[in-house]
A and B are shown apart, each in its own frame.
Chain A
Amino acid sequence: MNARAQRWLAPRRAQALARFVLWSLMAVAIGILILILAFVLGRGLRHVTWTFLTAMPLDSGRAGGVLPIVVGTLEVTALGVAAATPLGVGTAIYLVEYTREGRLTRIIRFGAECLAGVPSIIFGLFGFVLFVLTLGLGWSILAAGLTLAFMTLPTLIRTSEEALRAVPARYLDVSLSLGATKWQSIRKVLLPAAFPGILTGLILGIGRAIGETAAVIFTAGSSLPHRIPRSLSEGTRTLSVHFYQLAREGISADNAYATAAVLVLAISLINLGAYVTLNRFMRRYR
């Protein structure tokens, strides 16, 4: 490094330059977010009317509303999260309370991490073969819900594990010393104390499930429903899938924007909710 360059890059200068560049890049990222929100909400919200939310879709989505689609989305999501919760929370309890770090926990954690990395289209293929074809469920809310359960499992495991680890270890000591079994201690003391953290995982899972497209399109199908689903074995089209069809086929820009606005608003609120819950919870045990 020659003397001139060195002077130009004097620590104070480098410091100022680095700060400027890094903050600018941060601003770019935030700018992208604002752009997306402004675009989608700005153009979509005004088409989100009560009728839009409560009417049947007409003319392949060109007109009318999204009621059966919203209901189908909620059912798929609820089913997914409900099925994933016992698996995720159970795994977390086992990892935190019943076993020492070792080969088994490494395998379990690695399995969960890999599952988290599996692309949703692969979940779609898998759900299609297993639930739709092999188990004969057909394109259905049930098949999509179970597929989503597997997709949200890693999130649930991770957040539940963190939540349980944040519970002070002395609660277990105290509960055992008062004549509780380990399982009673977990049920009556540790799980309630970890509940807000576990709830965060649930909320995040819900957000992920609502926004999912690739895995749902092959398991719930994509044909436009003309009535509110009456059973879990009916196929449905979720909001994301509906939006995908509208946007890709250029069916109706207004309805596409409105659907996107509903999606983005719902998911953003859900994620913010999760973030706030988690922060409250973690602060309690600091």
Chain B
Amino acid sequence: MSAPKVSIRQLGICYAGAPAVRDVDLDIPKNAITAVIGPAGSGKTSILRTINLLSVDVDRAEVKGQIRVDDRDILAGGVDRVDLRRRVGMVFATPQPLPGSVYDNLVYGPRLAGTRRRADLDALVESSLRAAELWDEVKDRLRRSAFLLSGGQQQRLCIARTLALGPEVVLLDEPCSGLDPISTFKIEEMMRSLRDRFTWVLVTNNTKQAARVSQRTAFVLLGQMIEQGPTGQLFTAPKDPRTGDYVEGRFG
């Protein structure tokens, strides 16, 4: 494996003194999909939200350890949040459009980043919607409220919105929870087709989804990293018995 895009060492996360994640190591390779699986409350979201420092800035989490993105440790302090979050985009567990039109949602980030020209924004909107396989469905209602889209469409809009930032890493927190199988399928297809353009981190509590789309999988339990490795190996020949129990659904 070449040098990982993101490498996490000894990561600890506490909320108001209560530890939620302890000593987690995780390597996330470039241009591949890394799945993070584990039961509810095991700390998946916490880890994800720490990779773009949302946990620190919004949830007031205390963190220790290292998270190197391209060899720069973002936990070391003095990181430009805005720059980091443009490079490390995030999609949330339920569709989260902002109030406003489909178009407004898509250009929110780029406008803040300084793209002003109408033509540039239009082009960006089209290319990111195409990438998220949503262009054909919404090209006629770009000016309508984003809340009028279906749940699945909203979630793909949120993915397109993240892609419009031109990120290097895309963090997805259970992006398909609450979506129907067709929407789920579309999102998985999209991830597959864009796999080589980004570094993907997919948190999911659907082990089958992890098996379907990811190249690497990491299993966390009660805030600790139990096992990580190539997806095929982790599912067929887990080193830790707890991993086997979990992926086969023999777990509380």
- Give A contacts to B, CB under 8 Å: 100, 170-182, 184, 188-189, 192-193
Contacts and interface: CB of A to CB of B under 8 A. Distances in A.
Contacts of A175: 98, 108
Given A100-B60, A173-B54, A179 B96 contact: no
B54 A176 contact: yes
Closest 6 CB pairs between A and B?
Answer: A178-B109, A177-B90, A179-B86, A174-B96, A179-B85, A179-B109
B96 A170 contact: yes
A177 B98 contact: no
Interface string B56-86: 0110100000000000000000000111011
A71 to B, nearest CB: 38
Given A174-B96, A178-B112, A179-B86, 14 more contacts: A170-B92, A170-B96, A171-B99, A173-B54, A174-B92, A174-B98, A176-B58, A176-B85, A177-B90, A179-B109, A180-B108, A181-B82, A188-B108, A189-B99
A178 B161 CA distance: 8
A193 B99 contact: yes
A175 B58 CA distance: 12
A171 B92 CA distance: 11
A171 B58 CA distance: 11
B3 interface: no
A192 B99 CA distance: 9
Given A179-B165, A180-B82, A173 B99 contact: no
Nearest to B164: A178
Nearest to A175: B98
B113 interface: yes
Given A100-B60, A178-B165, A173 B92 contact: yes
Contacts of A173: 54, 58, 92, 96
Nearest to B59: A173
Contacts of A174: 92, 96, 98
Nearest to A169: B58
Contacts of A172: 58
Contacts of B90: 177
B175 interface: no
B89 interface: yes
A181 B85 CA distance: 10
B52 interface: yes
Contacts of B161: 178
Interface string B99-110: 100000000110
24 contacts: A170-B92, A170-B96, A171-B99, A173-B58, A173-B96, A174-B98, A175-B108, A176-B57, A177-B85, A177-B90, A177-B162, A178-B85, A178-B89, A178-B108, A178-B109, A178-B161, A179-B85, A180-B82, A180-B108, A180-B109, A181-B81, A181-B82, A182-B57, A188-B108
A180 B112 CA distance: 7
Nearest to B82: A179
B99 A179 contact: no
A247 to B, nearest CB: 48
A184 B112 CA distance: 9
Contacts of A182: 57
Contacts of B58: 172-173, 176
Interface string B166-206: 00000000000000000000000000000000000000000
A181 B96 CA distance: 18
A175 B104 CA distance: 12
A194 to B, nearest CB: 11
Nearest to A168: B96
A172 B57 CA distance: 11
A100 B58 CA distance: 11
B155 to A, nearest CB: 13
Most buried by A among B58, B92, B98, B109: B98
A177 B54 contact: yes
A180 B85 CA distance: 9
Nearest to B167: A179
A192 B98 CA distance: 11
Nearest to A180: B112
B26 to A, nearest CB: 20
Contacts of B54: 173, 176-177
Nearest to A189: B98
Contact of A179 (B60, B92, B113): B113
A68 to B, nearest CB: 43
Contacts of B99: 171, 189, 192-193
Contacts of A181: 81-82
Nearest to A167: B99
